[in-house]
Amino acid sequence: MKAHLLVLAMVAVGCQKPVAGPTPSPTPFQYAYKYKHIAPEDVDNAIAFHQKRLKDARQHPAFQIALAQAYLAKAQVSSDVSYFGEAEKLVDAALKKQPDNKAGLTVKASLCEARHDFQGAIKILEALEKQDPGDVDTRALLANSLMEVGRVPEALEISKDIFRQVPTVGAALQVARVYIAAGDDNKARKILEVAIGQEQPMENKLSARLRSLLGEMDVRHGRLEEAEQFFLASLDASPENAQTTEDLARLKVRQGQLDEAEKLFMAAFARTQHPLLLREVAQIKRARGQAEESKKMLEQAETLLRPEVRRGRYGHARDLARVVLDLGRPEEALRLLEQEEKQRQDWRLYELKAIALESLKRHDEAVKALKQALGSGIQEPSLYQRAALWEPAGGWAEKLKTLDPTFTPDSLEK
């Protein structure tokens, strides 16, 4: 990836008076994606190139790793987890021949992250950092894994240091994500807005994520119209981006546009085959009063998730817990969450754990789990709404008003 320096200064945007006429042109979105006319980097071509080179080179480990990196990029762009499996086969074969290959170990760490084996990733990355303390890629991956296991202050220090040394758009995205996890949305927003001004063509994934993060922040603060503009701009940068499609679908649910939300969730499912998207559609069907259809869809999601959980792949234990909670089996959900907690300790896990415990009438433990989620610092209205309901004297309702005054108990996932 090219290194593009960020100029950390805000540029004032003047307001131009509309031209007189019966139908004035709408004001263009300030953060619209401006490189739609330029085709993104073709990951499929890269895969084809590395496949041929590997065949010609008789399975040389360096070329196995190069193809594994291409598969990893494809998985990240497409959200198709099958490419992670292809990458893993190649990198494992390469590391058998060259156990200390740094590039191979870096890919292995990325695959650990994909499986939500963040502790495994941290072990690999800390060993690599000892060998080469200044390597930016290693430290960026390490910061991400640390953030996912709840070690947010450490992740923030590493990310800030990388951003000071190499203030690229990618580094801006990294440090903004950690600021969000630490509860500093304002600082994250300033960094992301400036980063958009410094983006370059053919970096569509980065450009899309900059905007989707801003959209996610706007949703958390009740600015739904602004959020929609960011999600649509994100999809302009990367039309096949399933994560942004999901974000937009959830926004449509908040806006009460359930038919549109269902279409978007199913479009994302068509691209990724991720079972949890069926759970999202089941929620919509339940909201419409279609209880039997909702249950069937949840059961389908469960059927798809169970073999993935048995294989211990891609962090699906938490996803399965969410589904079995909806199916009314909180004891099983809690067991799954405790299994996932060994690998990952983020606010979403603790919120689900709190919901499971509350369903089991273990109120004090539920409040404790919820406070673990709140302790991350994330500015997530659902956490404060639950806290306000479960501990009315705790002052949580006042905090919720400062985050999103439009968020009500009806906005909570049941």
Residue pLDDT, tens place only, 169-211: 999 999 999 999 999 999 999 999 999 999 999 999 999 999 9
Output the pLDDT for position 26.
Answer: 54
Q: Is residue 177 part of a domain?
A: no
CA neighbor of 46 nearest in space, from 21, 27, 69: 69
The answer to whether the beta carbons of residues 171 and 163 sit under 8 Å apart is: yes
pLDDT at 5 over 50: no
Q: How many residues does the chain have?
A: 414
Residue with the bigger pLDDT between 237 and 79: it is 237
Residue range 213-242: mean pLDDT, rounded: 95
Check the CA dihedral 385-387-393-398 and report its sign.
negative
Q: Report the phi/psi class of residue 150: left, alpha or beta, with left for phi > 0 and alpha for psi in -120 to 50.
A: left
Question: Cα–Cα distance between 161 and 140 in angstroms, integer?
Answer: 10
3-state secondary structure of 189: helix
Q: Is residue 407 part of a domain?
A: yes
CA angle at residue 327 from 326 to 328, to 5 degrees? 90
Question: Cα–Cα distance between 383 and 73 in angstroms, integer?
Answer: 33
pTM of model > 0.95: no
Question: Cα–Cα distance between 278 and 319 in angstroms, integer?
Answer: 11
Say what percent of the chain tops pLDDT 70. Answer: 92
Say what percent of the chain tops pLDDT 90. Answer: 73
Output the pLDDT for position 310.
Answer: 84
Output the pLDDT for position 77.
Answer: 77
pLDDT at 329 over 90: yes
Output the pLDDT for position 116.
Answer: 83
Question: Cα–Cα distance between 175 and 143 in angstroms, integer?
Answer: 9
Q: Is residue 110 part of a domain?
A: no
pLDDT at 403 over 50: yes
Output the pLDDT for position 241.
Answer: 87
Q: Is residue 399 part of a domain?
A: yes
Residue range 85-98: mean pLDDT, rounded: 94
Check the CA dihedral 269-274-279-282 and report its sign.
positive
Residue-range definition of the domain harbouring residue 368: 353-414
The answer to whether the beta carbons of residues 181 and 152 sit under 8 Å apart is: yes
Q: Is residue 330 part of a domain?
A: no
Question: Cα–Cα distance between 302 and 284 in angstroms, integer?
Answer: 17
Residue range 100-124: mean pLDDT, rounded: 93
Output the pLDDT for position 67.
Answer: 94
Total number of domains constituting the chain = 1
Q: Is residue 360 part of a domain?
A: yes
Residue range 130-140: mean pLDDT, rounded: 92
Output the pLDDT for position 340.
Answer: 87
Out of 72-81, 246-255, 353-362, which region has the weakest mean confidence (pLDDT)?
Answer: 72-81
Output the pLDDT for position 315.
Answer: 63
3-state secondary structure of 151: coil
3-state percent breakdown (helix, strand, coil) of the chain, nearest 5? 70, 0, 30
Q: Report the phi/psi class of residue 3: left, alpha or beta, with left for phi > 0 and alpha for psi in -120 to 50.
A: beta
Residue with the bigger pLDDT between 276 and 344: it is 276
Output the pLDDT for position 313.
Answer: 61
CB 262: neighbour CB atoms within 10 A?
Answer: 19
Phi first, then psi, for residue 138 (nearest 5°) are -60, -45
pLDDT at 123 over 60: yes
Q: Is residue 243 part of a domain?
A: no
Residue range 367-390: mean pLDDT, rounded: 94
Q: Is residue 144 part of a domain?
A: no
pLDDT digits 0-9 by tens, 269-286 = 998 888 999 999 999 999
Cβ-count burial 358-390 (b if 16+ within 10 Å, e if not) = bbeebeebbbebbebbbebebbbbbbbbbbbeb
What are all long-range contacts of 246-253, with beta carbons under 8 Å and residues at least 24 apart? Answer: 246/277, 246/280, 247/212, 247/215, 247/216, 247/219, 249/280, 250/219, 250/280, 251/215, 251/219, 251/224, 251/227, 253/283, 253/284
Residue range 78-98: mean pLDDT, rounded: 90
Residue range 26-40: mean pLDDT, rounded: 86
Average pLDDT of the chain? 89
